[in-house]
Amino acid sequence: MNLPTKTRINFVLSALVLSVLFSACEMSFDVDVNTSTPVVYTLNIEDVTNSSMTLYGELSDDGNDEIDELGFFYNTSGDINESNSSKVVCQQDSVIFSTQITKLEKGTIYYVAAFAQNDAGLSIGTTKEVATVQYEYGSYTDSRDENVYRTVEIGNQTWMAQNFAYLPELRSDNTVYTSNPNYFVLGYDGNSVDEAKATENYKNLGVLYNYYALESIVPAGWRIPTKEDWEELATYVGDENGSSSSYDDKWPEIGNLLKDNQAWGGEYSNAYGLSVLPSNFIDADGTVFDTNIFTYFWSSSDDEYNKIFAALIQKHQDNIWLRGVSKKLSGSIRLIKE
């Protein structure tokens, strides 16, 4: 079809205008939004146990892009990055996100950092350091006197983590009864149970008992540990620390792992929460050993010489020693759960 020249020119111009407008429209759809990597913060670490902890993070800025993934990296070496860490992914329900991580090693330092990722890249928040607890305390209340005791699980055993302190009556420190129950509070010479209970020695160290007092003082659900119970404790602690062998009923290094952190005048780990104190003892002849370098804990097991095995822990020795002692000696008690 032959169009007039003027018409053809107008048609070409219209086509060019439409082409420019169409290109402009295309360009308007292709303009990129200014995106960047997310901004993420590592917040609190709470509810730390010997095997778990709860982590909190904050997505402060998504970088004007959809978040592909967010959560936490953690490891035990520090210097957190994607390649050297375990990763846990969280749901993004709000700006604050959280999760619980489990199956952790007890008494171990972990390094934790929140992360978030979009198409622009990966962002990792500040690294935080937290240690899982070595042990967790429970509690037991003796209904007879309302004394509350910390308890701790060590292996398959549950121990009282404080010296027993049930006190039905008193004897003075220098009075020894051969075959009757003895109850002593170090440093107190009177006969008032209430006065004795008000002393610091009672509050911190509990009561010293002779063998003849043991059967009548134990609350239901608990018992005096046997020699085998003490051996199981020492073996468990030794196995975990590479020192399980014993010689002549002595377990090297185990005593130091059970001692209270500060009470012995040195730095000890109290690694299992048993918190052994230098609670001293009264010998069979009535001699009071209050030099803060000994602790005797009763067992319920006899030896071949009609003595009773007791667990001895000393300031200047690193071991725990199960040795036979006179039934007249007065020592401390750590009960074990039945």
DSSP letters, 22-56, are HHHHHHHHHPPP-----EEEEEEEE---SS-EEEE
pLDDT > 90? residue 337: yes
In the structure encoding, which two tokens stand for residue 302, read together?
């006899």
What are the two backbone dihedrals, phi and then psi, of residue 12, each rounded to the nearest 5 degrees?
-65, -45
**Do the strands 128-131 and 121-124 form a parallel or antiparallel pair, or are they unpaired?**
unpaired
Report, as an integer, the average pLDDT of 42-62.
94
pLDDT of 67-86, one tens digit each?
999 999 999 999 999 999 99
Pairwise pLDDT comparison (55 vs 4), residue with the higher score: 55
Query: Model confidence at 213, in pLDDT bands (50, 70, 90)?
Result: very high
Q: Which residue has the tokens 């619980």?
A: 100
pLDDT of 293-325, one tens digit each?
999 999 999 988 889 999 999 999 999 999 999
CA separation for the pair 55, 131 (Å, rounded):
13
Pairwise pLDDT comparison (24 vs 36), residue with the higher score: 36
CA separation for the pair 323, 208 (Å, rounded):
18
CA distance readout (Å), 34 to 31, 63, 64, 65? 9, 8, 7, 9
Question: Any idea of the CA torsion for 303, 305, 310, 312, to the nearest 10 degrees?
Answer: -120
In this prediction, residue 172 carries a pLDDT of: 53
CA separation for the pair 131, 104 (Å, rounded):
10
> Which of 230, 222, 104 has its CA nearest to residue 155?
230
CA separation for the pair 59, 303 (Å, rounded):
66
pTM of the model: 0.70
Pairwise pLDDT comparison (334 vs 288), residue with the higher score: 334
In this prediction, residue 312 carries a pLDDT of: 96
User: What stretch(es) of the chain map to CATH 2.60.40.10?
Assistant: 39-131
In this prediction, residue 203 carries a pLDDT of: 96
pLDDT of 135-171, one tens digit each?
889 999 999 999 999 999 999 999 999 999 999 998 6
Contacts of 80 (CB under 8 A, 6+ apart): 73, 74, 111, 112, 113, 124, 127
In the structure encoding, which two tokens stand for residue 262, read together?
């500060």
Pairwise pLDDT comparison (56 vs 17), residue with the higher score: 56
pLDDT > 80? residue 18: no
pLDDT > 50? residue 25: no
Q: Which residue has the tokens 């996100």?
A: 97
pLDDT > 80? residue 20: no
| Local structure of residue 259 (DSSP, 8 states) | B
Residue ranges with strand state E in 136-278: 137-142, 147-154, 157-160, 183-184, 208-209, 222-223, 250-251
Top-ranked range on mean pLDDT: pick from 46-50, 87-91, 304-308: 87-91
Query: Model confidence at 237, in pLDDT bands (50, 70, 90)?
Result: very high
Pairwise pLDDT comparison (22 vs 149), residue with the higher score: 149
In this prediction, residue 175 carries a pLDDT of: 60
In this prediction, residue 245 carries a pLDDT of: 72
In the structure encoding, which two tokens stand for residue 23, read together?
């290109």
In the structure encoding, which two tokens stand for residue 128, read together?
């935080």
> Which of 55, 48, 41, 43 has its CA nearest to residue 109?
48
In this prediction, residue 22 carries a pLDDT of: 47
The superfamily (CATH) of domain 39-131 is: Immunoglobulins (2.60.40.10)
